[in-house]
């Protein structure tokens, strides 16, 4: 059964609010007026065994990050993203322990990785600033698979890691405090359950960033 969109949005807001509280508690005393907030659109596409299991991509994806510039090229911070994957199969016959079952199968997976992040801009000058970054942390996973009205549900908290690259385009070349960011990412997400081996994915990102003060 597909999760209502209101529940999806509610879960995303709750997780994002939790990260906001954590970040401000850790960094406010140090970041002063330099703390940068980044928010954007974050579609993702399954890879490997995850793609075999979940044929549909996730176009319901969002990302939010708090970044602290430690010098002209390095930034560190904390980020949270959210993706919702959903797929519904036409009625088929399935061999179960109880016997043959005719059912409509729906798969629904939501991922919410919360990661410490570091990024490096490859140049100090120009309007276009290529960057590369890495992240590591934990992934909050909500999994469900239904055969008609019956199925499995699982919520799990697993480690996760990411790598990303793209370009930052600041609105002002001197301050570089605000601008737009476009790039791609790869997420390594271990998860073993009900035939799934992992939730690895790649995706795109389009975001805006600006100082909070």
Distance in angstroms (rounded) separating the CA atoms of residues 176 and 167 = 13
| Neighbour tally for 130: CB within 10 Å | 14
pLDDT of the residue at 144: 87
Question: pLDDT digit string (tens) for 75-100?
Answer: 999 999 999 999 877 666 556 555 56
Domains in the chain, number: 1
pLDDT of the residue at 185: 96
Question: pLDDT digit string (tens) for 114-168?
Answer: 999 999 999 888 889 999 999 999 999 999 887 666 667 889 999 999 999 999 9
Residue-range definition of the domain harbouring residue 64: 5-211
φ, ψ (nearest 5 deg) of residue 27: -110, -15
**Residue listed under structure tokens 């799990």:** 156
Q: Which residue has the higher pLDDT, 65 or 105?
A: 65
Distance in angstroms (rounded) separating the CA atoms of residues 45 and 60 = 11
pLDDT of the residue at 97: 59
Q: What pTM does this model have? A: 0.77
Q: What is the CATH number of the domain that holds 154?
A: 2.40.160.20
Smallest CA-to-CA distance from 165 within 202, 116, 140, 199 is with 202
Question: pLDDT digit string (tens) for 53-79?
Answer: 888 999 999 999 999 999 889 999 999
What is the Cα 105 distance to its own chain's centre? 25
Beta strand ranges found along the chain (DSSP E)? 36-41, 44-46, 60-69, 74-88, 92-96, 99-103, 105-121, 129-147, 150-170, 179-188, 190-193, 196-198, 201-211
CB distance 109 to 87 below 8 Å? no
Type and span of the H or E element at 52: helix 48-53
């Amino acid at each position: 059964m597909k999760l209502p969109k209101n529940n999806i949005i509610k879960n995303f807001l709750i997780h994002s609010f939790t990260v906001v509280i954590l970040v401000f508690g850790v960094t406010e005393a140090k970041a002063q007026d330099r703390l940068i907030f980044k928010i954007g659109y974050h579609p993702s596409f399954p890879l490997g065994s995850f793609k075999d299991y979940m044929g549909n991509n996730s176009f319901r994806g969002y990302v939010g990050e708090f970044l602290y510039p430690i010098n002209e090229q390095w930034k560190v911070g904390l980020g949270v993203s959210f993706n919702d994957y959903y797929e519904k199969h036409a009625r088929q016959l399935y061999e179960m322990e109880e016997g043959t079952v005719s059912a409509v199968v729906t798969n629904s997976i939501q991922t919410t990785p919360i990661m410490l992040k570091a990024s490096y801009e490859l140049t100090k000058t120009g309007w276009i600033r290529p960057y590369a970054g890495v992240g590591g942390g934990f992934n909050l996973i909500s999994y469900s698979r239904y055969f008609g009205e019956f199925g499995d549900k699982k919520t799990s908290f697993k480690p996760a890691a990411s790598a990303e690259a793209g370009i930052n385009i600041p609105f002002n070349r001197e301050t570089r405090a605000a601008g737009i960011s476009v790039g791609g990412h790869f997420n390594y997400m271990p998860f073993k359950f009900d035939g799934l081996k992992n939730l690895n994915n790649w995706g795109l990102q389009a975001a805006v960033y600006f100082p909070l003060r």
